[in-house]
Chain A
Amino acid sequence: MQALLVANSLVVLLPMLFMLLSSLKTTREIFQQPFALPAVLRWQNYADVWGAAHFALYFRNSLVVAVASMVLILLAGTPAAYALGRYRFRGNDLIFLYFLTGIMVPIRLAIIPLFIMMRDLRLLDTLWSLILVYAASGLPSAVFILTGFFRTLPQDLDNAARIDGAGELGILVRVLLPLVRPALAIVTVYNIIPIWNDFFFPLVFIHQDRLKTLPLGLTVFFGEFQTNWGLLFAGLTLAAAPVLALYVVLSQQFIQGCRRSVTLSP
């Protein structure tokens, strides 16, 4: 049992360790002694990557897109989930189902209409094109998870607040929002990684180098430095570092968030 688990841990970790160690070697070292430790730690690779490729820009773009999309998802998704989870009205089930279909529909198959729409709105080659698509396609799962959470809260909370004179918005913001904070965290964790990692939409929407996100920028970088493996490994390590660092700190939350939204049970 333990042997199998250890074996798979090595299968997962050794390639990443190899990437890290190779990023501190010269290309000649990687070719001639691939499995040896670096003779000297060549931090220069990182300085070269940072200087040669526009990594700082790519990072910034990815961060802007991920944060803005996430803010939009939560700003639009939370009130919608509140309405669906706390009020009984005609069409409630239908609207819920409408959002739900969005979880299964692969939005990238609509890329041609989206491309034409972004062109007509003059949003092609702007970060807004990405933000809008990510926010809209992240909404269904957000609405689903949050509605489930709102439904678990006792109805007495609203009634008590209403008697105290709170308005509908006040109930959401002051009474319920603090209670669904864990659900907001789950929605964020579940959505932000695919947004951060997405390659398809930037590939289609973004052409200017200064607007490229990290995954797209990485392809530019790989095209330029094909033969310089020391730099390539340094670039890969640099690109992987933020997500992996976040994962090391929050791995339990990542796993919980992913599990909950997949098994579709809040």
Chain B
Amino acid sequence: MVRPLPGAVSAARRVPNRLPYHTVRALWIAAFLAPALILFTAVVAYPVLSAMAYSLYRWDGIVRAGWAGLANFRRLLTQYPYSERMLVAFGHNVWTFALTMVVQNGFGLLFAVLLAGRTWGARVYRAIFFMPVVLSLVIVGFLWELFLNPIWGPLNKLLALAGLGALTRPWLGDPHTALVALILVNAWRWVGFPTIVFLAGIQAIPEEYLEAARLDGAGAGAIFRRIVVPLLAPQVNIIVILTFIGAFNWFELPYIMQGVTGEPFHATDVLGLLFYRAAFGAVDTGNPDVGVGSAIAVVMFALILATSGLGALYLRRREVEA
């Protein structure tokens, strides 16, 4: 055994202190970033990129079987039943986005304007409107499934009591009303969200602008159109993007209330359900089809990224102008 020289020990002990500060600093920065970078890369970035790559392979169950090129996309767009299901589901997503924009975000803007004035109880109203946003969509879905039950549901009973018995119908069982009913339930849950975002935007508008317009004799309508709406553009933009993402990612509510096939007769089928069926269940009959499932995922990714990219670009350009 070799005895270390006393001097060597103290030198070794001093080495860390002798590292130049910028090296120590770089090591610390790396150590601070490493856990988040590793976790994010392994569980978000890498799987997302893999999901895209998966669409280019043939799949045997969940075993990768060989290069497929664009065959999965071709099957998705041309082979029955995928082609038909895809078109129908896509149409439902578009309709969901459009109706949600009008109903949910329209009401959200209206409520925000009403709450922005020195309205009595504004904070309480705001808290009430936002309340369903914290509820699980599973709870919301089941609750409204009971409410909309054709025989025992309180909605039809209420209509009958009000003398509107002719209007009662199986809201979720009728292909003509099912999707609209789902969209309205979704709006019931979410409307507080655009409300608070718009409200924050309106409250950020400097009081002087409004005061100046008032002094110039502008009415409430003119102030809203000429000052509030243009200055609200960033909030509108964010809400449009989030509504788009939400509409094209829609899954929980249709799954809970209408089942994995989007009953009745695919009247509430959406891309999220189709994707889930392709990946884990089956489209109509047959086995899981990971290739086509991944192709659907890529289409959804492309749609969502394109929209949010355009939106972000638009936002950036406005900020530069302002």
Contacts and interface: CB of A to CB of B under 8 A. Distances in A.
Contacts of B242: 262
- Chain A, interface SS category: helix
Interface string B191-213: 11100110011000000000000
Interface in A209-235: 214-216, 218-219, 222, 229, 232-233
B39 interface: yes
Interface residues of A, number: 89
Contact of B308 (A31, A104, A229, A263): A104
Given A109-B48, A109-B51, A219-B256, A83 B29 contact: yes
Contacts of B197: 259, 262-263
B129 A9 contact: yes
Contact of B293 (A89, A112, A252, A255): A112
B146 to A, nearest CB: 7
Contact of B39 (A135, A222, A251): A135
A252 B127 contact: yes
A49 B69 CA distance: 52
A236 B39 contact: no
Interface string A230-266: 0011001001100110110001101100110011100
Contacts of A139: 36, 39-40, 44
Nearest to A5: B125
Contact of A87 (B25, B115, B279): B25
A232 B192 CA distance: 26
Contact of A115 (B25, B62, B129, B297): B62
A163 interface: no
A67 interface: no
A113 interface: yes
Contacts of B70: none
Interface in B234-276: 234-235, 238, 242, 245, 249, 251-252, 255-256, 275
Contact of A136 (B40, B117, B201): B40
B127 A200 contact: no
Contacts of A255: 126-127, 130, 196
Contact of B304 (A106, A112, A196, A233): A106
B142 A80 contact: no
B137 interface: yes
Interface stretch (A38-46, A69-77, A180-188): A69-77
Given A4-B110, A111-B51, A115-B279, 15 more contacts: A5-B111, A5-B114, A12-B128, A12-B129, A15-B143, A34-B154, A109-B48, A109-B300, A112-B51, A115-B62, A137-B44, A139-B36, A215-B138, A218-B139, A239-B138
What 4 pairs across the A-B complex have the smallest Cβ distances?
Answer: A136-B43, A80-B36, A113-B50, A83-B32
23 contacts: A5-B115, A8-B107, A12-B128, A31-B152, A72-B39, A76-B36, A89-B29, A95-B37, A108-B249, A109-B275, A109-B297, A112-B293, A113-B48, A115-B279, A116-B62, A136-B43, A140-B40, A196-B136, A197-B134, A218-B138, A239-B136, A258-B193, A263-B201
